[in-house]
């Protein structure tokens, strides 16, 4: 039986998380939507130079789609850009961070499961990443904040306030963290354990702050670079423990940052070599 057009077609906003070529000219897109969760859609002819949809279906782009239901992949029949994030696309570091955000969302969502809070989180992170100056200290801070909040929304929020073992409130001292158990353990309960590692009071303080605050209250906070680096390392290893695999986008981002550090600054004009 043929469905009426109004039943076959639906509109949705979407952000492209991943894509792959299919056949001679098509693309399969993995997108996140606010009302339908994560979907796999096909954009027929999207690799043809004359296709009008292709420019509106870029990585990390926020688009409005008209989609036709089909037996296999639903088909994108129309696509219009809502936000293209031009500043983000002109900076390799930001591209790497946006790719990381998209990979985490892809990893923590199931196809067809509606999750409006994760949609809101991803869209906010992309908007802020696009708006921030490339050298702003808020750029790496946004990444750590994003990680902690997607962990919470996905059900993997680490326990940072009470001891996992005895439920006592954690004192502002060097405690211990278990990445496998997903939380912090007080010194008394950690005695003799080899499966935990120390976590400094300042690192725990930053983790708690990022976990419990909205982005506007975090944006202008200054965190010492070496503390933020430890937070970054800890969160990354916690994510690897949960996902049980490497994250391709992080490998790219770290290679890029190593290249930036390795390249010496250009000499001022007219200076001696």
Domain boundaries, the chain: 9-84, 87-258
Residues 86 and 94: beta-carbon distance below 8 Å: no
- CATH architecture for the domain at 87-258: Up-down Bundle (1.20)
pLDDT value of position 72: 87
Quick one: fold of 9-84?
OB fold (Dihydrolipoamide Acetyltransferase, E2P) (2.40.50)
Arithmetic mean of pLDDT over the chain = 88
- The string of pLDDT tens digits covering residues 203-261 is 999 999 999 999 999 999 999 999 999 999 999 999 999 987 656 555 545 544 444 33
- The string of pLDDT tens digits covering residues 32-64 is 999 999 999 999 999 898 888 888 999 899 999
Residues 111 and 93: beta-carbon distance below 8 Å: no
Among residues 153, 152, 73, 77, which one has the least CA distance to residue 113?
153
Residues 65 and 79: beta-carbon distance below 8 Å: yes
Q: What's the rounded Cα separation, in Å, for the pair 254 and 111?
A: 29
Q: What's the rounded Cα separation, in Å, for the pair 176 and 197?
A: 5
Q: What's the rounded Cα separation, in Å, for the pair 223 and 256?
A: 22
- The string of pLDDT tens digits covering residues 67-116 is 999 988 999 999 999 999 998 889 999 999 999 999 999 999 999 888 89
Q: Is 157 exposed, middle or buried (0-12, 13-18, 19+ CB in 10 A)?
A: middle
């Amino acid at each position: 039986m043929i469905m009426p057009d109004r039943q076959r077609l639906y509109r949705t906003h979407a952000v492209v998380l991943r894509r792959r070529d299919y056949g001679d000219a098509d693309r399969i897109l993995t997108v996140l939507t606010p009302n339908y969760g994560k979907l796999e859609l096909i954009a027929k002819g999207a690799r043809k130079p004359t296709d009008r949809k292709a420019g509106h279906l870029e990585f990390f782009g926020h688009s409005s789609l008209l989609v036709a239901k089909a037996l296999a992949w639903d088909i994108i029949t129309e696509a219009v850009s809502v936000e293209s994030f031009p500043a983000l696309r002109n900076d390799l570091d930001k591209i790497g961070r946006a790719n990381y955000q998209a990979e985490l969302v892809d990893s923590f969502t199931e196809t067809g499961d509606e999750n409006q809070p994760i949609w809101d989180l991803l869209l906010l992170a992309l908007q802020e990443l696009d708006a921030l100056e490339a050298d702003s200290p808020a750029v790496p801070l946004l990444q750590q904040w994003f990680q902690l909040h997607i962990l919470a929304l996905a059900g993997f929020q680490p326990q940072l306030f009470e001891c996992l073992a005895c439920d006592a409130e954690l004192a502002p001292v060097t405690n211990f963290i278990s990445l496998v158990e997903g939380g912090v353990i007080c010194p008394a309960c950690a005695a003799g354990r080899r499966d935990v590692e120390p976590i400094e009071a300042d690192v725990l303080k930053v983790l708690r702050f990022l976990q419990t605050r909205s982005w506007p209250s975090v944006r202008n906070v200054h965190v010492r670079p070496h503390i933020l680096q430890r937070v970054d390392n800890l969160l990354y290893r916690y994510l690897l423990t949960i996902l049980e695999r490497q994250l391709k986008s992080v490998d790219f981002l770290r290679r890029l940052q190593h290249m930036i550090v390795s390249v010496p600054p250009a000499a001022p004009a007219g200076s001696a070599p």
